[in-house]
Amino acid sequence: MSNVSKIDPLWTVDEVSAYLGVPVKTLYQWKWRGEGPPVRKIGRHLRYDPAAVRAWATAAA
Q: What is the pLDDT of residues 13-60, one digit of tens each?
A: 999 999 999 999 999 999 999 999 999 999 999 999 999 999 999 998
Closest by alpha carbon to 45, among 19, 24, 18, 22?
A: 24
pLDDT of residue 30: 96
pLDDT of residue 4: 58
Sorting pLDDT into bands at 50, 70 and 90, what band is 1?
low
List Cβ neighbours of 42 (8 Å cut-off, separation of 6 or more). Answer: 10
pLDDT of residue 6: 73
Full-model pTM: 0.84
